[in-house]
Amino acid sequence: MAELSRRRFLGATAASAVLPAFHISSRQKLRGPVAVASANGLQAVQIAVEQMQTGLPPVDAGVKGVEVVENDPNDMSVGYGGLPNERGVVELDACVMDGPTGLGGAVASLHNIKNPAQVALAVMRHTDHVLLVGPGALEFAKLHGFAEENLLTERARQAWLRWKRGLSRKDDWVEDAENVLFDASATGGGGEDGGKEALASMSRPTGTIHVGCVNERGDVGGVTTTSGLAFKIPGRVGDSPLLGCGNYVDNDVGVAGSTGRGEAVILSNGAATVVHHLALGKSPTDACLEACRRIVRMTKVRRLLDERGRPAFQVKFYAVNKRGEMGAAAIRPSRHARMDADGPRLQDSAAVFDD
């Protein structure tokens, strides 16, 4: 009996140790349905909230929202019309995560399917897996009725050809000798001998769309979808399809996602970091700022830094807590989209640096 009580006590202690500090009292008002997104998601957040109002779960509502951007040939960072890899092939990544079930699904390096977020949703709903890649992801998509089509628009092909013609130091290949630690005391800060003066990928788009949703019950869902870094090495996967990096959900806490340089988000476990800070009680904007500061702190090699030792790239985070409070922050100034009872709008995000 005494042993049983001890076990019960230890069990209760362990359970309380993993409970997030963040909680909602019965008196606190939930603000959902609300949605936050990257700045290319103004229409997407509106669609997502409308879908939640009809009763669609937050994760499905987010996928409906991003579909409009995945289908848009003029958004060259997502889905159809996305900029291709270095061989001219459009290669898509996406993931979804559902708060109430705690399940997620993802696809990476997927060719010829316009709506990878919907395929990620099918992975979550119809398999015991989380991530399918490359030919396996394509086969899975086709088996689930997704049509194969050429995603390379004429505009994206012309952009790729221009990049090919200008190819010199603007690729992703790095010599060992270029991974030199930044030395602020050295003449000229960044210096000339750090190899590529600024990482080539920094001047290339890593656009993406993330939508985070919370409904009127405080249930949470998130989706991120992208064509990834323009002209990437084939098979390169960024943060977008990686749960905990480009998208993360904890139904007791909230949802977070990212856009921008995926490598930095992977190395810092970005979206999970934001959700961790939400769980500690930080506001969504402050939680996003913490994740940005972590990237600033963890970026140490010269080729990734500007002459003042700051990351020479951009990363943006977006978050909504379970109460439906939204926020966003980035390394440098940027905007985000949000939708609540006041309607869809673009708003300035907080920033670590003001230029």
Where on the chain is the footprint of ligand GLY (CB under 6 A)?
Answer: 206, 208, 226, 228-229, 238-240, 246, 259-262
The active-site residue out of 208, 225, 226, 299 is 208
109 versus 153: smaller Cβ distance to ligand GLY: 109
Q: Which helix (H) or strand (E) holds 35?
A: strand 34-38
- Whether 24 contacts 218, CB under 8 Å: yes
Closer CB to ligand GLY, 57 or 260, in the complex: 260
Distance CA 341, CA 229 (A): 34
Residue 46 corresponds to which amino acid?
Q
Whether 259 sits among the annotated catalytic residues: the reply is: no
Residue 305's SS3 state is: strand
Using alpha carbons, select from 37, 35, 33 the residue that is nearest to residue 337.
Answer: 37
Report the residue number, 31 or 261, with the smaller CB distance to ligand GLY. 261
Phi, psi dihedrals of residue 322, rounded to the nearest 5°? -60, -25
Q: Which is nearer to ligand GLY, 41 or 324 (CB)?
A: 41
Q: Which is nearer to ligand GLY, 108 or 305 (CB)?
A: 108
Residue 202 CB, nearest approach to ligand GLY (Å): 12
* 65 or 257: CB nearest ligand GLY: 257
Minimum separation from the CB atom of position 262 to ligand GLY (A) = 2
Q: How far is the CB of 229 from ligand GLY (least distance, A)?
A: 5
Minimal distance in Å, beta carbon 38 to ligand GLY?
10
Give the integer Cα–Cα distance in Å for 42 and 291: 23
Which pair of structure tokens corresponds to residue 303?
Answer: 């080729």
* CB nearer to ligand GLY: pick between 52 and 291: 291
The sign of the torsion formed by the CA atoms of 265, 266, 271, 277 equals negative
Shortest approach of ligand GLY to residue 17 CB, angstroms? 33
Smallest gap from Cβ 240 to ligand GLY, in A, equals 5
How many other CB atoms sit within 10 Å of the CB of residue 24? 13
Distance between CA atoms of residues 264 and 4, nearest Å: 47
Give the integer Cα–Cα distance in Å for 319 and 330. Answer: 12
Residue among 215, 271, 249 nearest 103 (CA): 249
**Token pair belonging to 163:** 């990049």
| Length of the chain measured in residues | 355
Burial class (CB in 10 A: 0-12, 13-18, 19+), 232: buried
Distance in angstroms (rounded) separating the CA atoms of residues 329 and 296: 13
As a whole number of angstroms, the distance between CA 349 and CA 336 comes to 6
Among candidate residues 256, 328, 339, 247, the one with its CA nearest the CA of residue 45: 339
Minimum CB–partner distance for residue 228 and ligand GLY (Å) = 4
Among all residues, which ones are annotated catalytic? 208
